Amino acid sequence: MKGTLGLILLFIAPLPLVAAPPVQPTEMITIAPGKFTMGSSDKDIEWAAKTFFSESLDYYRDETTAHTVELPAYKIDITEVTMGQYRLYMQQTGVPAPKFMDNKRFNQNDQPVVGVTWQEAVDYCATMEKRLPTEAEWEKAARGTDGRTYPWGNEPDETKANVRGKKDGYRYSAPVGLDPYGASPYGIRDMAGNAWEWTADWYQPHPRNTHPNDFYGEQFRVIKGGSWFSNMDLARIAVRGKSLPNRRNNYLGFRCAK
């Protein structure tokens, strides 16, 4: 009896806890200090309206004016933060799962994490000893210094971005960093399509922009880059998307900067 009890106790002894493997931070690229052109000129938005058959220029007014911005050196993630990375982060910190984590269209480990709020994105970056990029940092990393319209150049090309439709081979979000997609001049991936990306900034007018907009202020955060749900118009670098900070959308993710 005594030996049997010992076997039972041995059998039910709790297993030692196994720590979750550490999150491997996304590889970063250093953007050299210097100037670049941010925003769109009147000529730029006229081209966009004509190319994408817009009936009015009003939608594009918040992109103006084109202006020169000088930034110090900084680093930015080569790709968007993935579902796999966020899963490990959840295991380590106990934060709840973001929306769409159980949706097979969006929850593969190599897809960008979506369904996170602005604060959740901020918290993740802080845990990695990083932060969200500013709108200017994001735009320079995507555009380079030659004022291009898309990361790969000036012409729309649905085979170089994961946007609405399946010309790139994906109906929903795609694995991050795929080679066929057009990288920016710095080698940054997924800056046109796949997932809109949170930035650190409030949605405010560009310098010298005199067009009224009821949405300016400290209500919306700027999001950049378009998504799998966008057309090529919204995948232009200068486009200024906006979202309430607490929104959880299946087309909205993030990358970090430092």
User: How would you write the pLDDT of the chain (258 residues) with one tens digit per residue?
Assistant: 444 444 443 444 444 444 556 677 689 999 999 999 999 999 999 999 999 999 899 999 999 999 999 999 999 999 999 999 999 999 999 999 999 999 999 999 999 999 999 999 999 999 999 999 999 999 999 999 999 999 999 999 999 999 998 888 899 999 999 987 889 999 999 999 999 999 999 999 999 999 999 999 999 999 999 999 999 999 999 999 999 999 999 999 999 999
Q: Report the largest interatomic distance among the alpha carbons of the chain, rounded to a whole angstrom.
A: 90
**pTM of the entire structure?**
0.90
From first CA to last CA, the distance across the chain in angstroms is 64
- Rounded-to-integer distance, Cα 110 and Cα 249, Å: 18
- Rounded-to-integer distance, Cα 50 and Cα 243, Å: 26
Domain locations in the chain as residue ranges: 28-253
Strand partners, 252: 196
Q: What is the DSSP letter of 63?
A: G
Task: Supply the Cα-derived Rg of the chain in whole angstroms.
Answer: 21
Range 28-253: architecture per CATH: Alpha-Beta Complex (3.90)
Q: Which residues contact 9 (CB under 8 A, 6 or more apart)?
A: none
